Amino acid sequence: MRTQLTIPACLAMGLLLTACASNELNPNLEQARLDVTELQNHPQSRQLAAVETEDARDALGRAELAQKEGAEPHEIDHLAYLTERRVELARQTIALRSAEQELEGVSEKRAHTRLEARDAQIRKLQEELNAKQTDRGSVVTFSNVLFDLDKSELKPAANSSVRKLAQFLQENEQRKVLIEGFTDSTGSDAYNLTLSQARADSVRRALVQEGVDASRIQTVGLGEAHPVSDNNTPASRAMNRRVEVTISHDAQQVPAR
């Protein structure tokens, strides 16, 4: 007995076959699903590539919708490919931003190390040359005992201090130096200015002879200005007769008083 199919039956069977075909597994789409899931599960995807991860998820949604609506296999393959490209972009973004964070960490560590080294050098300068810290920089004082009376040339006793100061400056080549000469209140203003300038220049020459670049050093004679003690006794006047070497905190010139 021959089985005959009516037209409505044929139409129903065709629709069933079409539905089955639309639900067939597409290997490219399945791989895209796996990759998007893996991306979403990545511990840094939300933090480092939130936008790119969302784009990949949206691309997968379009591919799945196309399959559900019965799109041709090549169309689904193309949408799956676009999804994979979004996934790869998200992965590369995560890798790049992770590397940037690592570099930032290294830079911070290096900066901290440099800061510690600078602090150690300053402490050494304070210990060896009795330097003091001010807003203008680190100040090393060459007292009156390192100069003969009314003379500008440094005594041999100053050689050790000059060498230590020169060594510090050579180890910190970016720092600038301002050398200021001072006198007590005896003598005329003109004489005191001349003597204080000559003593400042003497310290500069000594540092240059020890290898410090002369272009880093400025000198000025200030005479009896800015006393550190009154001028009523020989001892107090001796304290005012001095040369102060101010070393900048950074590569900028030491500001004038």
pLDDT digits (tens, 9 = 90+) for 171-188: 889 999 999 999 999 889
Query: DSSP 3-state assignment of 133?
Result: strand
Instruction: Evaluate whether 181 touches 197 at the Cβ level (below 8 Å).
Output: yes
Pick the CATH number of 130-247 from 3.30.1330.60, 3.40.190.10, 2.30.29.30, 1.10.630.10: 3.30.1330.60
For residue 210, the model assigns a pLDDT of: 95
Instruction: Evaluate whether 202 touches 154 at the Cβ level (below 8 Å).
Output: yes
Question: Between the CA atoms of 92, 96, 98 and 104, what dihedral angle is there, to the nearest 10 degrees?
Answer: 180
pTM: 0.55
Interval 78-84 mean pLDDT: 92
Question: Between the CA atoms of 240, 245, 248 and 251, what dihedral angle is there, to the nearest 10 degrees?
Answer: 150
How far apart CA 25 and CA 39 sit, in angstroms, is 21
Is residue 55 over pLDDT 60? yes
